[in-house]
Chains A and B, each alone.
Chain A
Amino acid sequence: MDMKRDYYEDVAIFTSRWIIFWFCALILGLALFPFIADKFLKTYYVYVANCIAVNIIVAMGLNLLVGYTGQISLGHAGFFAIGAYATIVFMAKLGLPFVVSLFLAASLSALFGFLLGLPALRLEGPYLSIATLGFGLTVTQIIGRVEYFGGRQGLHAPELVIGPLHLDSDISRYYLFVLIAVLVCLFARNLVKTKVGRAFIAIRDADIAAETMGVNLTLYKTLAFAVSAFLAGLAGGLYAFILGYIEPEIFNMLMSIMFLAMVVVGGLGSIFGAIAGAVLLTWLDLTLRNILEVPFLGEWLKVMSRSWFSITGVSNIQYIVFGSIMVLIMMFEPLGIYGLWLRMKKYWKTWPF
């Protein structure tokens, strides 16, 4: 039954015992995952989980911007890079502790987000995407040319230390990353249910009407950019420690497009969609890199490649598979994974009939 008895239930997360139960189950599952992975699978999966956690944070931020506020961005790798570089520079060169560096780096990224949001007030759709694309490309170019940031050589991430804790393994980092990812998800979910989030959605659906209802477009559009950039910067700071070493080439245009693809494939304008998109695409990306080791498919591709392709053909073949999966999802469910989820829920609601 979904009868509501008081107004708070409209915005509450835990509206029924089942949701509390599943949430606890999820937290327990996340807490136990490294042990299970360590014992029964490979520790590699903890690394995958870390990448997923980082991408969830970015996707959540990008979803606030693209899915909720309706402002497209193809430059999120730029914010990601700013976060990653700033965190390492603050720690290694200025000697600040990790938590402070991470927060400062994310704030710096938010500042750039705010600045990018200013031209965005006058731009829309394809024009905005090109402007943000330009930003993303510029950031890596500038970073690559500054000697202080390591230039083309890149930077090594220092040891990740929080107080007495030395997080030097994937498993120990896992808890930090997942904790932040869960908090970010809750934050985003609460945000879109309250005043600021409603203003974002209003701007997306009908900006003139939103303005005449008292929403300050300048404030909320730049705020959306800033929040989105903050989360991307935060994720970038964490990602630097997954890699242990960063160089400008990592934060290329393809990365920006991957972030956008996560949000779109997952389902624009839905928290669940951003999570699902980040999980699926990160996993696919990491798995398909070793596509030739995948049973059956790998062998088949090798044969195909030998008989049909040039010698270099097989090396980038994962993008073909990757692309086809995305095309199929968008073809059959324009709402992305979130749309599939909605259909599944509907189906099971009336299941025996």
Chain B
Amino acid sequence: MVPASGRKNQDIGKARGRRVAPASKGWCMAFFRVEDLSMWFGGLAALEGVGFEIEKGSIFSVIGPNGAGKTTLFNCINGIYKPSGGSIRFKDQELVGKKPDKVARMGIARTFQNIELFTHMSLMENLMLGRHVFMKTGLFRGGFMWGRRSYAGREEQIHRKKVEEIIDLLELQGVRDYPVGMLPYGTQKLVELGRALALEPELLLLDEPCAGMNSEEKQDMIFWIKDIQDELGVTILLIEHDMAMVMDISDRILVINFGRPITEGTPAQVQIHPEVLTAYLGEEESDECAA
């Protein structure tokens, strides 16, 4: 690829969506594409004209100052909010208008910025809930589970085995049966990641997975995110404030501010973009951050 000039990346949104689409046809079916997405809360535009495309198997980061609309974007993708306009297409299916549980069934899992675990359930049960969409045990088969050969019993065993694989991957064996509310913060973040993985997602939305972690935990988290991308082939959409981490692991980055996209490109392109430097990284420290 010819390194695009800053100017070329500058004008995105509606115009960009049109221009990129034909170019991308040649090498990849649009795995995940957001087009001209807008979200209004009364008179306030939380998102306006946001558009981007994610290639399968890549790590795509969204950065922007607090209140830029990053989490709103996630909530729109998930179906927690209904966008005011635009479209979100995942494997050629429209996500706008779908309920969150339908979106989950299509293979999109997420973690939350403020941990949203089922605090009174054990770690194992939290991950088992992640297997919810794969299980068929209903009220009757579950309530009348009479033994290990019953339908519910067999299904439990199959999925517990799957969950055990995730526990092995994330090295959580020691706290398997602890109520997650009792676990330390870093571990809880990890459990959230595990729960999302239990859904066997094709697209994983990570909302600040490293927030509030110490540097060692952060290193581990980066390692796991890379692992998930490489070994499980999961496409990752990431929100993160830690610039070093974002620049390190992202394939592409979208910068938004006040709900509007500023630029999109590879880490190298984004780092030198003048508007990004002024809007997000701050004028004074621009040299330091770009380095």
Contacts and interface: CB of A to CB of B under 8 A. Distances in A.
Contact of B135 (A11, A187, A195, A202): A195
B116 interface: yes
B119 to A, nearest CB: 5
B152 interface: yes
Nearest to A11: B156
B273 interface: no
Contact of A209 (B99, B117, B138, B143): B117
Contacts of B121: 198, 201-202, 205
Nearest to A223: B139
Interface string B117-156: 1111100110011101101011101111100100011011
A273 interface: no
Interface stretch (B49-57, B101-109, B245-253): B101-109
A213 B153 contact: no
A202 B121 CA distance: 8
A353 B172 CA distance: 31
A196 B116 contact: no
A215 B112 contact: no
B109 A190 contact: no
B130 A213 contact: yes
A199 B142 contact: no
B120 A215 contact: no
B161 interface: yes
Given A196-B142, A199-B132, A209 B137 contact: no
A212 B110 contact: yes
Contacts of B141: 194
A206 B132 contact: no
A24 B124 CA distance: 30
A161 B142 CA distance: 31
A202 B105 CA distance: 17
A217 B14 CA distance: 35
A212 B124 CA distance: 18
B144 A6 contact: no
B78 interface: yes
A223 B139 CA distance: 9
A81 interface: no
Contacts of B135: 195
A191 B148 contact: no
A191 B105 contact: no
Interface of A is mostly: helix
Nearest to A203: B118
B104 A205 contact: no
Interface in B169-200: 195-196, 199
Interface of B is mostly: helix
B156 A190 contact: no
Contacts of A210: 118, 129
B157 interface: yes
B100 A194 contact: no
Contact of B199 (A188, A191, A213): A213
Contact of A11 (B143, B144, B153, B199): B153
A65 to B, nearest CB: 14
B90 to A, nearest CB: 14
Contacts of B155: 195
A293 interface: no
B275 interface: no
Contacts of B160: 7, 10
Contact of A194 (B78, B142, B199): B142
Nearest to B149: A8
B119 A205 contact: yes
Interface string A9-36: 0111000000000000000000000000
Q: Which of B125, B145, B148, B199 has the most CB of A within 10 A?
A: B145
B145 A190 contact: yes
A277 interface: no
Q: Which of A7, A197, A223 has the most CB of B within 10 A?
A: A7
B277 interface: no
B217 interface: no
A10 B133 CA distance: 20
B144 A211 contact: no
B199 A201 contact: no
A8 B118 contact: no
Contacts of B109: 212-213
Given A205-B118, A213-B132, A194 B137 contact: yes
Interface string A202-230: 10111011111111110000010001000
B100 A205 contact: no
Interface in A170-199: 187-188, 190-191, 193-199
A212 B118 contact: no
A214 B119 CA distance: 18
Contacts of A61: none
Contacts of A204: 120
A269 interface: yes
Given A209-B116, A211-B100, 13 more contacts: A190-B142, A191-B142, A193-B142, A193-B145, A198-B121, A198-B125, A206-B116, A211-B80, A212-B100, A213-B104, A213-B109, A213-B196, A215-B101
Interface of B: 78, 80, 99-101, 103-105, 109-110, 112, 116-121, 124-125, 128-130, 132-133, 135, 137-139, 141-145, 148, 152-153, 155-157, 160-161, 164, 195-196, 199
5 contacts: A190-B144, A195-B152, A205-B117, A212-B103, A217-B101
